Amino acid sequence: MTLPTDPTLAALLPDAPASHCTDPELRAREAATRLDSRWHAAMAKLTGGLSPVALTLAWTDWALHLATQPAQARRLGLAAWGQGLRLLGQSLAPAAQDPADPATPADPRFADPLWARWPWQGAVQAAQAAETWWAEATQLRGMSPHHQEMAGFFARQWLDMLSPANWGLANPEVLRRTLERQGGNLRDGAAHLGDDWRRRHGLSPLQPPTRPYQPGVDLAVTPGRVVHRNALAELIQYDPVTPQVQAEPVFLVPSWIMKYYILDLSPENSLVRWLVGQGHTVFILSWRNPDEGDARLTLADYLEAGIFDALAAIGRAVPGEAVHACGYCLGGTLLSIGAAALARPGQVQGAQTLPPLASLSLLAAETDFTEPGELGVLIDEGQVALLEDMMAERGYLSGAQMAGSFAYLHSRDLVWSQQLRRFWMGEADQPNDLMAWNADTTRMPALMHSEYLRRCYLRNELAEGRFPVEGRPVSLGDLRQPLFVVGTEKDHVSPWKSVYKLHRLTDTDLTFVLANGGHNAGIVSEPGHRGRHYALRLRPAGAAWVPPEAWGQQAERREGSWWQAWHDWLVTHSRGPVTARTPAAGLGPAPGHYVLQRYVEAG
């Protein structure tokens, strides 16, 4: 086990032993640190987990640079004044507006033709003008790039919150619905609000969904057995459905931020079921949902229990075969660390007893964190320190807190538009398998999550060859297995250009796929799904670096799901078919016990 990267957090956890320090100055410092941590945790509850210090620093950077650039300030001021006068004139002369021309054809919030009419058109145009002005005003020369991103991001958040679409009965669509239903939409909206409150407090909703979507009932139902279990993960092997299978098994490593059944949703959307149907022996990890007693787990524990111990179990179940390993999201990051460690002789104790890796597939997984996209706006030293103080209270980051962070990144669609639809329009959610999975959140142990943020996001140790495994740094340049890497066009968690940077870090055959869709829907891309397409290109070992923009021009365009291309690639890198293998009786049927662990999360 490696030492935690922040000894301060380790000393603040609930199970931290009492200090036996006799130096009065050190004891006073420890007491002050603990009191400050509790104060920060209480403050974070009022700020939604955002660091007011980090936010103030960003806006101070902006304000000071604006104050020292009088010409730019004058230009921006005159632009705002001119826009205001123009919009005022249009609002006073509505006949001059063209009601047939939609105000914002590209913005789904204002797609209704009523938004193109007076008086609503003026409000929409003012909101558009404000967005354009702030997008330019927050990009001042001399500002820290991170502060530029923060200022622009939070300006967009405020503007999205103040959007005319969120004005309740002043929204023409809400007004029309209220008149049509004689207020029934508001009654239904109040019921939805009450059910949300009941769910947050562990109570059953008064209006339960027509289909609950429960793992083991209508999700995660691909037949299989739990063949191995340790304190942190279960390993599931799936029953074959073909007489023969490819010799090398496929080992899937999902992220611990999510339940594993994102890869085994409804039968028609299940990557696991599809792989089994194509003639693969499939194993998958199911991570345990941690509790207060797991606060001191580290990334080394996840690596040992989730990668090395699982590989050993696969070697016992399928002796003598190499393994096609595949990681999704954080699971891919962890898998790349483990693969790099195994690639260096003597790095991992007992590595010679593990089955070798035949190939490595990474799905929406970052290995270089210099450009993490919008998620990077919420990650800096101040934010991470505040998050550590929050986690120190309970020993973990709750699933509700993590889900709130992701929703905040796209609050326009995931917060405000949903509130409008559910509370003002009175529309009930239409549940589906992906929504049910997304609501089934998991926790993260405090030390592990702190280590992940600091080592990967703040210090980029994996890309720079400084990430330690068993006391020695690992290098992705040691990888010699063929790589299959998937990015998605609209991914705001692992932006595809960030995923693409693995080309710089490795010198082996690398097939890169860019699929349409986002972080989840772009990966859960079953064959036959309408509108699916992807681009694909092989970078042979030793080839020169190709920038992502040039890659996009050179890649082969294909219609349909990338799953078929991956299957073909796996077959190409396999030694051929063998008789299908039936899992041992093991520890019980899939989906196992760990996936069913849930907690009432208040935030």
pLDDT value, residue 549: 94
The two three-digit tokens of residue 563, written as one number: 């799953």
How far lies 419's CA from each of 173, 201, 347, in Å?
14, 19, 51
Q: What span, in angstroms and rounded, lies between the C-alpha atoms of 524 and 509?
A: 25
Q: Is-contact 236 591, C-beta < 8 A?
A: yes
Calculate mean pLDDT across residues 111-134. 91
- Strands 556-559 and 577-579, by their bridges, are unpaired
- Strands 357-363 and 323-328, by their bridges, are parallel
Which alpha helices (DSSP H) does 364-501 contain, by range?
381-394, 399-409, 411, 417-419, 433-439, 446-452, 496-499
Fold for 224-370+460-596, please state it.
Answer: Rossmann fold (3.40.50)
Calculate mean pLDDT across residues 323-339. 98
Calculate mean pLDDT across residues 298-304. 96
| Percentage of the residues of the chain whose pLDDT score is greater than 90 | 69
Q: Is-contact 119 91, C-beta < 8 A?
A: yes
| Percentage of the residues of the chain whose pLDDT score is greater than 70 | 94
SS3 content of the chain, % helix, strand, coil (to 5): 50, 15, 40
Tell me the per-residue pLDDT of 206-245, one tens digit each, with 9 for 90 and over.
776 666 788 999 999 999 999 999 999 999 999 999 999 9
How far lies 51's CA from each of 149, 211, 373, 375, 471, in Å?
15, 39, 19, 15, 33
**Could you please report the per-residue DSSP string of 20-83?**
----HHHHHHHHHHHHHHHHHHHHHHHHTT--HHHHHHHHHHHHHHHHT-HHHHHHHHHHHHHH
For residue 408, pLDDT over 90 is answered with: no
Sign of CA dihedral 158, 163, 168, 169: positive
465 confidence band (pLDDT: 50, 70, 90): very high
Catalytic residue among 21, 326, 329, 456: 329
Q: Is-contact 565 513, C-beta < 8 A?
A: yes
Calculate mean pLDDT across residues 566-573. 98
pLDDT value, residue 541: 96
Q: Where are the domains of the chain?
A: 224-370+460-596
For residue 462, pLDDT over 70 is answered with: yes
Number of neighbouring beta carbons within 10 Å of residue 219 = 26
User: With helix as H, strand as E and coil as C, how does 113-128 read?
Assistant: HHHHCCCHHHHHHHHH
Q: Is-contact 168 177, C-beta < 8 A?
A: no
Among residues 338, 345, 351, the alpha carbon closest in space to that of 462 is found at 338
Among residues 315, 374, 306, the alpha carbon closest in space to that of 336 is found at 306
pLDDT value, residue 103: 44
pLDDT value, residue 118: 87
Tell me the per-residue pLDDT of 372-403, one tens digit each, with 9 for 90 and over.
988 888 899 999 999 999 999 889 998 888 88
Q: What span, in angstroms and rounded, lies between the C-alpha atoms of 286 and 592?
A: 8
Cis previous bond, 473, omega within 30: no
Q: What span, in angstroms and rounded, lies between the C-alpha atoms of 306 and 321?
A: 19
Amino acid at the residue 310 = A
The two three-digit tokens of residue 125, written as one number: 């145009």
For residue 586, pLDDT over 90 is answered with: no
Tell me the per-residue pLDDT of 512-568, one tens digit each, with 9 for 90 and over.
999 999 999 999 999 988 889 999 999 999 999 999 999 999 999 999 999 999 999
Strand order through the sheet with 282-287: 224-229, 233-238, 282-287, 250-253, 323-328, 357-363, 483-488, 510-515, 533-539, 556-559
What does pLDDT average to over the chain?
Answer: 90
Q: Is-contact 163 156, C-beta < 8 A?
A: no
Cα angle 268, 271, 273; round to 5: 65
Q: What span, in angstroms and rounded, lies between the C-alpha atoms of 501 and 369?
A: 9
Top pLDDT among 19 and 456 is at: 456
Three-class SS state of 487: strand
For residue 347, pLDDT over 60 is answered with: yes
The two three-digit tokens of residue 396, written as one number: 């973990």
Q: Is 331 left (phi over 0), alpha (psi -120 to 50) or beta?
A: alpha
The two three-digit tokens of residue 461, written as one number: 């140790």
Q: Is 220 left (phi over 0), alpha (psi -120 to 50) or beta?
A: left
Tell me the per-residue pLDDT of 150-169, one tens digit each, with 9 for 90 and over.
999 999 999 999 999 999 99
Three-class SS state of 488: strand
pLDDT value, residue 19: 63
**DSSP secondary-structure letter at 575?**
-
Q: Is 329 a catalytic residue?
A: yes
How far lies 495's CA from each of 489, 515, 557, in Å?
8, 12, 20
Tell me the per-residue pLDDT of 164-216, one tens digit each, with 9 for 90 and over.
999 999 999 999 999 999 999 999 999 989 988 887 777 777 776 666 788 99
Q: What span, in angstroms and rounded, lies between the C-alpha atoms of 204 and 186?
A: 22
297 confidence band (pLDDT: 50, 70, 90): very high
Three-class SS state of 550: helix
Please count the residues of the chain: 603
| Residues 496-499: contacts with CB under 8 Å, at least 24 apart | 496/548, 497/371, 497/548, 498/366, 498/368, 498/369, 498/370, 498/371, 498/372, 498/373, 499/362, 499/364, 499/365, 499/366, 499/367
Among residues 198, 112, 193, 237, the alpha carbon closest in space to that of 426 is found at 193
414-418, 445-449, 598-602 — which is least confidently predicted? 598-602
pLDDT value, residue 99: 47
For residue 474, pLDDT over 50 is answered with: yes
How far lies 81's CA from each of 76, 86, 128, 149, 326, in Å?
9, 9, 15, 25, 55
